Amino acid sequence: MKKKIAILGSTGSIGKTLLKIISNDKKNFEIVCLTARKNYKLLFKQASIFNVKNIIITEKKYFDIAVSKNKKINIFNDFENLKIIFPKKIDYVMSSIVGLEGLYPTIKFIKFTKKIAIANKESIICAWNLIENELKKYNTKFTPVDSEHFSMWYALKNNSLQNVKKIYLTASGGSLLNISIKKYDKLNLNQILNHPNWQMGKKITIDSSTLMNKVFEIIEAKNIFNLSYDKLDIIIHPKSYVHAIILFKDGMIKIIAHDTTMEIPIFNSIYSLKENSTKTKNVDFEKLNNLHFTKPDKKKFLSLNFLKSLPKKNSLFETVLVSANDELVNQYLNNKINYTSISTILSKIIKRKEYLKLKKIVPQKISDVISISNKVRFKIRSEYI
């Protein structure tokens, strides 16, 4: 029987990679629904190739264009008609919409699937308690897709979290690892976007250069695995071959490595070993012989100091951190601020009393997160730009 699946954000890099993986195995999959914000042309192409009957285009302008151009498939403009699309639970959903825009659909889709793979880090950071409630309520399985969290999840199978002493998430150091902080203001955008290992979007590549992406991944790991922050750390590993290192209380160490590609965690999120196996390269012993782990420089990567500000439990303060960083990176990309201002303004934002109070407030609903996010973004645009 075919696996019935849906892909949220199918026109993005994660969605396209998943479609590539299953393209040679169409006989075993039925794609029930694909979604995008505005790229209706690619969505139409994907729907045609995989014979998809339902698509969702969330930006009204492009939804209207799509409806006028194609009458053969069902086209929806929002996530309010999922009962029509999914009369009963499907087997798998990939949630890969970028940003807080992906929060609502991620939570909304849990009810309609037996398993959800989440690549949307903002949802896990800002509203993990809401996601977890839905997973339990509808008995839906969850798999993380980020290479680091997938590696942790993979390594911790059949191991109790009580036995974990320390987990290290690796960071490549991004495009500026070997560049002095004194030269930052002289760098152009192309230099900062020139990541040595990964082909990523502009936003995540900049977060990689500031190591803000690792701050976010620490929060994700704390939430997903219910760990305290003192059990999590960051280590620089320029080769991006090792993704997580786990030290157990009995002295044993697990090192999880795989090629620098998202195909491996995505493949494993949808297949079991019994169902299929991916084409893997041989072990890269040259990389293993030159792993070169170092501690990150907190004077250079100022974002690492934000870890001290994080509350022990999930709160609305994390939404402040995510939204402020997102807005500041956007302002940098639009030439409104310089590169170093991303961290310096962010440091000022998270120290404001009105936001510090949020450390004690747990999100109760999606609108709580969206409301705080909008207020933070407006505050930055009106007072700091």
Instruction: For the chain, count helices (H), then strands (E).
Output: 16, 11
Q: What is the mean pLDDT of the chain?
A: 93
pLDDT in tens, 56-69: 999 999 999 999 99
Query: What is the residue whose two structure tokens read 């991303």?
Result: 342
Task: Identify whether residues 192 and 270 lie together within a single domain.
Answer: yes
Q: What is the pLDDT of residue 182?
A: 84
User: For residues 379 and 323, what is the distance between their CA atoms, to the nearest angstrom?
Assistant: 11
Q: What is the pLDDT of residue 192?
A: 85
pLDDT in tens, 156-212: 988 888 999 999 999 998 888 888 888 887 888 888 888 877 667 789 899 999 999
User: For residues 161 and 276, what is the distance between their CA atoms, to the nearest angstrom?
Assistant: 29
User: For residues 215 and 350, what is the distance between their CA atoms, to the nearest angstrom?
Assistant: 14
Q: What is the pLDDT of residue 273?
A: 58
Task: Identify whether residues 299 and 158 lie together within a single domain.
Answer: yes
Higher pLDDT, 191 or 42: 42
Question: What Å distances lie between residue 205 and 88, 198, 215, CA to CA?
Answer: 39, 8, 14
Task: Identify whether residues 162 and 264 lie together within a single domain.
Answer: yes
Quick check: helix, strand or coil at residue 283?
coil
Q: Which of 273, 308, 343 is the last residue of a domain?
A: 308
pLDDT in tens, 275-301: 666 777 788 898 889 889 999 999 899
pLDDT higher than threshold 90 for residue 54: yes
Task: Identify whether residues 266 and 171 lie together within a single domain.
Answer: yes
Task: Identify whether residues 220 and 250 lie together within a single domain.
Answer: yes
Task: Identify whether residues 261 and 175 lie together within a single domain.
Answer: yes
Convert 10-37 to b/e letters by CB count within 10 Å (16 or more is b). bbbbbbbbbbebbeeeeeebbbbbbbbb
Cβ-based neighbour number of residue 162 at 10 Å: 6
Task: Identify whether residues 282 and 214 lie together within a single domain.
Answer: yes
Task: Identify whether residues 108 and 240 lie together within a single domain.
Answer: no
- Residue 308 has φ and ψ, to the nearest 5°, of -70, -25
Predicted TM-score of the model (pTM): 0.94
User: For residues 56 and 75, what is the distance between their CA atoms, to the nearest angstrom?
Assistant: 6
User: For residues 134 and 118, what is the distance between their CA atoms, to the nearest angstrom?
Assistant: 14
Give me the domain span that covers residue 138: 3-145
Q: What is the pLDDT of residue 275?
A: 63
Encoding tokens for residue 298? Answer: 């907190």
Query: What is the residue whose two structure tokens read 């790229």?
Result: 39
